[in-house]
Homo-oligomer: A and B are copies of this chain.
């Protein structure tokens, strides 16, 4: 079996998004990529299978174009979004898609989440952007792949770095998050949900969309992610 270790990580990630309540009703999927071989290989969960029943064998291995390399089950119906993100964002090693409650509510409202506090600034550099919606032509052509395309387009337009802004809201749909590993992608999907909860309440209490001063958000972001990071035991 190919990629045994990555299969384990991707399996755990899929179970973890269910366990943390981010993906009720199998609304969600996680994948990871191994880029070190001759050809990059993606491991993703199969479509519509209950998380509790998943085993490493059930996972599907594909190439970067989504062609199945190993696996008896049909891959997640969102596969083409994952592979497009892997093709375009060379820095990322894992992708997580959820329909988590508050992040999805922001996505449905088509509204970016402004940076209203240091919880946000510790993980996301600036607002969490909204991509899409996907146009009628894009849906007709290739809906799932173009869901990835509208994400990438938004990042290019705003000159955003995928590792500095490790997540996005797809308008009228739900969030995607990513990271250097699939475990980090899960963490970002979970933090994104928490940020969405905080921001929802803050906005109802009258918080300004302008958010926190740049000198505070920069300090927090650099403290965790800059070259002189002081957070944690590194």
Mark A residues whose CB is within 8 Å of B: 24-25, 27, 46-49, 73-74, 77, 99, 101-102, 104-111, 116-119, 133-136, 139-140, 143, 172-174, 187, 190-191, 194, 197-207, 211-213, 215-216, 219, 223, 230-233
Contact = CB atoms under 8 A, between A and B. Distances in A.
A6 to B, nearest CB: 22
Contact of A105 (B24, B107, B172, B198): B198
Given A117-B104, A133-B213, A133-B216, A205 B207 contact: no
Given A136-B213, A216-B133, A104 B119 contact: yes
A233 B73 contact: yes
A134 B233 CA distance: 26
A205 B207 CA distance: 13
Contacts of A212: 133, 172
B198 A108 contact: yes
9 closest pairs, A vs B, by CB? A48-B232, A105-B201, A172-B212, A109-B205, A108-B202, A136-B215, A108-B116, A109-B207, A108-B117
